[in-house]
Amino acid sequence: MKWNTNMPLIGILRGITPAEVHDHVAALLDAGFDAVEIPLNSPQWEVSIAQTVAEFGHRALIGAGTVLKPEQLDALHSMGSKLVVTPNTQPAVIRRAVELGMTVCAGCATASEAFTALDAGAQALKIFPSVSFGPDYIKALKAVLPPEVPVFAVGGITPENLSIYLAAGCAGAGLGGDLYRAGQSVSQTAQQAAAFIKAFKDATK
């Protein structure tokens, strides 16, 4: 299975609650997103992910972030979650997710971690935290990675610096605090989502 979304931006809704999730996911999808990650350190993530998959799974790649343990994957699979995003390189998690037919974007920082993730079956890589390493580091790392593997910049990505990471070779980005912060209004989410979509389109004309 390969990464397959039309817009290579992952909306990260860390801290979202079940009562809020519908409206914020709808705002992301209306703006043009088609991949959404709800981290497992969010309140009642099981409810939020199951609800989001049921309502929007036909329109977008919906799944979980901050996935750390293989046993979490069985629960995610049972609720129809298709996306698994990890903050680290854990081969057992990646292998189990792939066995269950899920798309894995594995967190890594070094070439060794990147190839460990790919060997375990990850379909995409996220360089985290990208802003700490910078675009030059990612460009150098990309030089040794298989060109067909999409690399996502995650951590500190804003509408203003997104183009720099795309120019360094990233296919897209995972967007956290500059897209959504727990408790913000739906209108704020919609505004930030539109800014990121515009930045991506402007950078890839």
Which residue is associated with the tokens 């500190």?
156
pTM, two decimal places: 0.97
Query: What CATH code is carried by the domain that includes residue 129?
Result: 3.20.20.70
Asked whether residue 57 is assigned to any structural domain, the reply reads yes
pLDDT at 16 over 90: yes
CA distance 99 to 75: 14
CA distance 108 to 16: 25
Domain residue limits at 59: 7-201
pLDDT at 97 over 70: yes
Q: What percent of the chain has pLDDT over 70?
A: 99
In terms of phi and psi (left: phi > 0; alpha: psi -120 to 50; beta: otherwise), the region of 68 is alpha
Asked whether residue 163 is assigned to any structural domain, the reply reads yes
CA distance 152 to 105: 8
Instruction: Name the token pair of 176.
Output: 């956290």
pLDDT at 79 over 80: yes
Q: In this structure, what are the phi and psi dihedrals at residue 42, rounded to the nearest 5 degrees?
A: -95, 155
Asked whether residue 107 is assigned to any structural domain, the reply reads yes
Digit-coded pLDDT (tens) for 19-28: 999 999 999 9
Digit-coded pLDDT (tens) for 33-62: 999 999 999 999 999 999 999 999 999 999
Asked whether residue 2 is assigned to any structural domain, the reply reads no
- Catalytic (active-site) positions: 37, 126
For residues 191-202, b (16+ Cβ closer than 10 Å) or e, as one string?
ebbebbbebbee
pLDDT band at 4 (very low <50, low <70, confident <90, very high): confident
For residue 107, the SS3 value is strand
- Helices (runs of H) and strands (runs of E) counted in the chain: 9, 8
Asked whether residue 77 is assigned to any structural domain, the reply reads yes
Asked whether residue 1 is assigned to any structural domain, the reply reads no
CA atoms within 13 A on the CB side of 192: 21
CA distance 131 to 140: 15
For residue 24, the SS3 value is helix
Asked whether residue 58 is assigned to any structural domain, the reply reads yes
Q: What percent of the chain has pLDDT over 90?
A: 98
Say how many domains are in the chain. Answer: 1
Asked whether residue 24 is assigned to any structural domain, the reply reads yes
